[in-house]
Amino acid sequence: MTPTLRTLAFAGLAAAAFVNPVFADPPQPKIVVVDRAAILQFSKVGQDVAKQMQAAATQAKADLSGQGRALQAEERTLQQQVAILAPDVKAKRLAAFQAKAQSLQGAAQRKDEQLKAAFAQARQAIEQQLGPILQQLVKERGANMVLDKQAVVFATQTGFDITTDVVNRLNQKLPAFKINMNAAPVAPKK
């Protein structure tokens, strides 16, 4: 191919690239804003979940503190007896006490994981309901982008915020959610 033909071919490809819609300017953004934290805080389902989680955490704390107090009393008794016990008996009692302490610590960790799994399951159920609600509101508003309110640094108007509409529709669609304290732990996101 001669240099003139190459130049013409390249010019033709370049011209085609500017006409090709793949390389067209992106659409003008029409943005709506949603406050995800406010949705959980002010929706009926968010308040319901928070109330159930608080009750479960309070119950777990009460259960574990009673066991903790009993373990502390046992530790005080053991400390008083340790000086007069035979070495083999002393070792057995200390080992038994350590096993109880580790068991209590394990129970506390399992309870914490159980609470986290229950909350994650509830949050996932809420988010599944939010998806179609957000899609419908975006369509109604003619928007093409949704931002979390936390990402907005400055706005001159408040008409972008659809949080109240989202909360109202979520209240209609999912007013409550029963926490499952036997929920499987959620795998960490990679």
Beta-carbon-side half-sphere exposure of residue 81 (alpha carbons within 13 Å):
16
pLDDT averages per 10-residue partition of the chain, 190 residues? 48 48 75 92 96 95 91 89 85 91 93 94 94 94 90 82 95 93 68
Task: Look at residue 1 in the predicted model and tell me its pLDDT.
Answer: 53
Prediction pTM value = 0.72
Name 32's bridge partners. Answer: 146
48: CB partners within 8 A, 6+ apart? 175, 176, 177
- Where exactly are the structural domains of the chain? 27-173
CA angle 154/40/57 to nearest 5° reads 130
Task: Look at residue 81 in the predicted model and tell me its pLDDT.
Answer: 85
Give the span between the Cα atoms of 134 and 170, in whole angstroms.
10
Task: Look at residue 189 in the predicted model and tell me its pLDDT.
Answer: 57
Task: Look at residue 108 in the predicted model and tell me its pLDDT.
Answer: 93
| 73: its two tokens | 């009393």
